[in-house]
Amino acid sequence: MRYAVIMAGGAGTRLWPMSRTGKPKQLLRFIPDEAGGQARSLLQIAAQRLRGLVAPENIYVCTGAAYAHQVLADLPLLPAAQLLGEPMGRDTANAVGFSAAILHKRDPDALFAVLTADHIIEPLDTFQALMNKGFDAVEKHPETLVTFGITPTAPATGFGYVQRGAEIEDCPGVFRVRSFKEKPDEETARQYLATGTYAWNSGMFVWKAATILEQLRLHLPAAHDGLMKIAAAWGTPRQEEVLHALYPTLPKVSIDVAVMEKAPSVATIAMPVKWLDVGSWPAFAQTLHADPFGNRTNGPAVHMGSTNVLSVTEDPSHLVATINCDGLIIIHTPGATLVCPAADAEKIKALVAQVETTQGKSFI
Amino acid sequence: MRYAVIMAGGAGTRLWPMSRTGKPKQLLRFIPDEAGGQARSLLQIAAQRLRGLVAPENIYVCTGAAYAHQVLADLPLLPAAQLLGEPMGRDTANAVGFSAAILHKRDPDALFAVLTADHIIEPLDTFQALMNKGFDAVEKHPETLVTFGITPTAPATGFGYVQRGAEIEDCPGVFRVRSFKEKPDEETARQYLATGTYAWNSGMFVWKAATILEQLRLHLPAAHDGLMKIAAAWGTPRQEEVLHALYPTLPKVSIDVAVMEKAPSVATIAMPVKWLDVGSWPAFAQTLHADPFGNRTNGPAVHMGSTNVLSVTEDPSHLVATINCDGLIIIHTPGATLVCPAADAEKIKALVAQVETTQGKSFI
């Protein structure tokens, strides 16, 4: 049986002031609908992306327990039993392992895809076809961990890379992983791009629950032990007690470092898709159409003489108006307004820290 | 008996989006209180400026009838009978004449000061002492119209000027007016400043109601005729009917053009005061203290790396945050946000016109 777990544990400080403590980016309904419908959240888009690929009763969401109420409101058809609430973040090895342990308890033969809730991925049919290819490969080779790469379109230095080796004979388009690479410098990234055998490491996987658990047992036994105890208590009266007692003790590490770089059978599939991490305002801007002067807006706006302005409002009845501005990001929320040059968008994290220091927690 | 009429008929498009149709600048409670109290409106400040100068029962406000409710809310102790509501603006000759006709009906010996609701004037004691000097002069010379000048501190080209002639013998500091001058070019303004005999034309006056009415009768008889009929009906059941029938027919002209440049006995008093027309965002900025980097704000704000930013919020719990901005005006209201360089503040009028064209009337 095929399952999917959407990882929705992010925070999103770089999208302040729209993302706030307790209101992470994947739950912001701020992605415009091309067909003119209401804006949706990244989580809603991630869930809809699975329509026709995985049955609704097999779709899980792994998120912070604090967001459970909001996630259930965001996905009204998600049964509460399919929401995996982490008491706190313990990095991806445990989010993945937690999901694997619960799924394995439900279905020892479960295969599952790990998906992110941070991205826009297009076109849909390419994504679904290659996800299916991953499931097919794991059905044929249940010991194999499949990681998805994104076919690079530029020598990006902001991603890790996965280098492919030989194609697996009975799985066309599925390749052995030769190596994982840290974020490269630009020269190295250019070489990666030129070879055609490197892809961006996407954080999406397909594997058998039993296999990833076995690899965790071998390479991260402390986590495996805790997670199996949590799974044993799952669905019993002791569920919450055990979860809260053990989760904080799990070693905090990424699944890449804990398992992927050590496991004996790792394969990769490259997705030639548009893959947009909507984790910053300049990235969000890419989801909006530009006017002839490069201005983009998600609501009522008048940009007189302005160029390359991004204006975003959380309130569809709020107007943003500018005169002769260039390259500015202007974000309006009922509680706070942000204005900064797009070139300084990476400084928003530092700004939020300064807001907390000088204004207290009410604005963050 | 001494009276005062505060002219509060303005609009204030240059203070958009805080000033809106139906919410003119003189009623915006946006002037910070130096002593740390709540912000006040320009009208409240104009009224308070009369404390000790004119008795409350002799203070009138002349405004658009549409603003009557707001004016009475802004000045809770103002009797409704002291609110003179113009059905529409017919320029200053009629606002002044309307006031004069009503006051003259109440008290044929009334002297009154005409005051603006657009300015911050400091220091208060200089203002009051010179207003009293004006009243004294008119008591001695009831045929004289007194106009107040502001002692210029720079060769300003944005004001009309009044040139003084000889001092009136029994009224030290009160001078005959030699001429009124239109807004000069910069070279001319420098010459005016150098002579020491020119002052900025302030729009403030003191005169006897009977005298200004007589001058209107001579120089603008159509207005005088209509205004006397309105005054005759004032306080009778026909008040509103006559007001609405005749006011629209009054010839639209300023009191300077209609009377001051023609009357036989016009005197002037120069006020050495700070005189700030809070009619634009850069002018409003002057009411706020600057931080060491030139940023000014009227509410919660974090300006990280920014310089010379003016941030204004109508909502004292709303935060404005910026990164590396320079010279920007940022105005937040619940309905609209404005961002523009201070150097382009004069274009706000054009922006508002564009907002009306493209977005309809709801934002203006």
Query: Which tens digits make up the pLDDT trace of A176-215?
Result: 999 999 999 999 999 999 999 999 999 999 999 999 999 9
A316–B contact, CB cutoff 8 A: no
B331–A contact, CB cutoff 8 A: no
Nearest by CB to B302, from A330, A341, A354: name it.
A354
Question: Could you give the CA distance from residue B120 to residue B285 in angstroms, rounded to a whole number?
Answer: 13
- Note the pLDDT tens digit of each residue in A283-340: 999 999 999 999 999 999 999 999 999 999 999 899 999 999 999 999 999 999 999 9
Residues of chain B contacting residue A348, judged by C-beta atoms under 8 Å apart: 323
Model pLDDT, residue B196: 95
Nearest by CB to B330, from A313, A318, A339: name it.
A339
Question: How far off is chain B from A345, nearest CA to CA, in Å?
Answer: 9
Residues of chain A contacting residue B317, judged by C-beta atoms under 8 Å apart: 335
The long-range contacts involving A225-229, CB below 8 angstroms and separated by at least 24 positions, are A226/A250, A227/A94, A227/A97, A227/A98, A227/A100, A227/A101, A228/A101
What does pTM read for this prediction?
Answer: 0.87
CB count in 10 Å sphere of residue A264: 9
CA-wise closest residue to B93 among B184, B9, B186: B9
Are A321 and B347 an interchain contact pair (Cβ–Cβ within 8 Å)?
no
Residues of chain A contacting residue B335, judged by C-beta atoms under 8 Å apart: 317-319
Question: How far off is chain A from B309, nearest CA to CA, in Å?
Answer: 11
Nearest by CB to A318, from B323, B324, B336: name it.
B336
Best of A15, A339, A357 to disrupt the B interface (most B CBs within 10 Å) is: A339
Are B319 and A335 an interchain contact pair (Cβ–Cβ within 8 Å)?
yes
β-strand pairing of A40-41 with A29-31: antiparallel
Question: Could you give the CA distance from residue B286 to residue B282 in angstroms, rounded to a whole number?
Answer: 7
Q: Say yes or no to pLDDT of A10 above 80.
A: no
- Note the pLDDT tens digit of each residue in A53-100: 999 999 999 999 999 999 999 999 999 999 999 999 999 999 999 999
Model pLDDT, residue A116: 95
Q: Calculate mean pLDDT across residues A215-229.
A: 98
**DSSP conformation class of A273:** S
Question: How far off is chain B from A151, nearest CA to CA, in Å?
Answer: 35
For chain B, counts of helices (H) and of strands (E): 11, 19
CA-wise closest residue to A7 among A109, A74, A91: A91
Question: How far off is chain B from A354, nearest CA to CA, in Å?
Answer: 8
Task: Determine the length of chain B.
Answer: 364
Model pLDDT, residue A33: 85
Model pLDDT, residue B36: 78
Question: How far off is chain A from B323, nearest CA to CA, in Å?
Answer: 5
Distance of CA B107 to the CA centre of its chain: 25
Are A321 and B350 an interchain contact pair (Cβ–Cβ within 8 Å)?
no
Per-residue tokens: B123 = 């220091």
β-strand pairing of B296-297 with B310-313: parallel
Determine the residue type at B334: P
Average pLDDT, 10 consecutive residues per value, chain B (364 residues): 94 90 90 85 96 97 95 95 96 97 98 96 97 98 98 95 97 97 96 97 97 98 98 97 97 96 97 95 95 96 98 94 98 97 96 95 88
Question: Could you give the CA distance from residue B45 to residue B115 in angstroms, rounded to a whole number?
Answer: 12
Nearest by CB to A341, from B300, B324, B354: name it.
B324
Model pLDDT, residue B347: 97
Distance of CA A6 to the CA centre of its chain: 8
Best of B295, B323, B333, B340 to disrupt the A interface (most A CBs within 10 Å) is: B323
Q: Where in chain A is the domain with CATH 3.90.550.10?
A: 2-277
| H or E segment to which residue B134 belongs | helix B124-140
Summarize chain A as % helix, strand, coil (round to 5).
40, 30, 30
**DSSP conformation class of B183:** P
Per-residue tokens: B191 = 């010459």
| Cα R_g (chain A), whole angstroms | 21
Are A337 and B313 an interchain contact pair (Cβ–Cβ within 8 Å)?
yes
A359–B contact, CB cutoff 8 A: yes
With contact defined as beta carbons under 8 Å apart, do B205 and B113 qualify? yes
B180–A contact, CB cutoff 8 A: no
**DSSP conformation class of B184:** P
Are A359 and B325 an interchain contact pair (Cβ–Cβ within 8 Å)?
no
Give, in order, the Cα–Cα distances in Å from A6 to each of A1, A96, B117: 17, 10, 61
Question: Could you give the CA distance from residue B158 to residue A328 in angstroms, rounded to a whole number?
Answer: 32
With contact defined as beta carbons under 8 Å apart, do A57 and A77 qualify? no
B325–A contact, CB cutoff 8 A: yes
Best of B20, B304, B332, B349 to disrupt the A interface (most A CBs within 10 Å) is: B304
- Share of residues in chain A with pLDDT > 70 (%): 100
CA-wise closest residue to A95 among A46, A62, A60, A61: A62
Which fold, A2-277? Answer: Spore Coat Polysaccharide Biosynthesis Protein SpsA; Chain A (3.90.550)
Give the CA dihedral B77, B78, B80, B81, nearest 10 degrees.
130
**DSSP conformation class of A256:** I
* Maximal CA-CA distance, chain B: 64
Q: Is the peptide bond before A221 cis (omega within 30 degrees of 0)?
A: no
Burial (CB count within 10 angstroms: exposed 0-12, middle 13-18, buried 19+), residue B38: exposed
Distance of CA A340 to the CA centre of its chain: 26
With contact defined as beta carbons under 8 Å apart, do B150 and B275 qualify? yes
CA-wise closest residue to B130 among B272, B260, B275: B272
Question: Could you give the CA distance from residue B253 to residue A77 in angstroms, rounded to a whole number?
Answer: 69
CB count in 10 Å sphere of residue B291: 14
